[in-house]
Amino acid sequence: MSALNQLATKSYDETSTYDEQVHFVHLYVVEPHPKSPDVSPYTGKVWEGKYSTKGQAFTYDERVVAVQDILPLLEGDQLILVDDLLVPGDLNNPVWCTYGPCPNCAYLIRQDSVIDAVQTWFNAGDVEKAIDTLLGGS
């Protein structure tokens, strides 16, 4: 989260920040490393990480509640969208699965809906370069 916050609030030029040039949108989906006793969707086993603070949300409403804890962590103009669950209890996430079910992907999507850049693991420096290229900056 800190790398995204730094990029969103970083000066793009003399009069604006990156979050004033592009939309920063997070998609809340499955917890890759939920708290025990919930299992990871990747391994089918308990796989807690050092940032595991939540159990798996099995309904849309549970996801909306979980997002409330994340909102205060965002800096600058960033938005969180909650992916739907087609069937409660089923971890099918239509948006996430359409773009690719990786836990920390990043996409730069142009205004005409064309995906300009994709990262399977978010890297702030590479995203910054891609934004600069897209916007014709440095």
Instruction: Report the helix count and the strand count for the chain, using DSSP H and E.
Output: 5, 4
For residue 137, pLDDT over 70 is answered with no
Between CA 36 and CA 43 the distance in angstroms is 13
DSSP state letters, 87-134: STT----HHHHHH---TB-EEEE-TTS-EEEEESB--HHHHHHHHHHH
For residues 137 and 72, which has the higher predicted lDDT (pLDDT)? Answer: 72
Q: For the chain, what percent of residues have pLDDT higher than 70?
A: 96
Which pLDDT does position 21 carry in this prediction? Answer: 96
Average the pLDDT over 41-56 and give the result. 90
Check: pTM over 0.85? Answer yes or no.
Answer: yes
Average pLDDT over residues 69-80: 96
Mean per-residue pLDDT for 43-65? 91
CA distance 8 to 74: 9
In 10 A of CB 112, how many CB atoms?
6
The region of weakest confidence among 2-6, 43-47, 88-92 is 88-92
Average pLDDT over residues 79-83: 95
Helix, strand, or coil (residue 28): strand
Beta-carbon contacts of 11 under 8 Å, excluding residues fewer than 6 positions away, are: 17
Query: Average model confidence (pLDDT) for the chain?
Result: 91
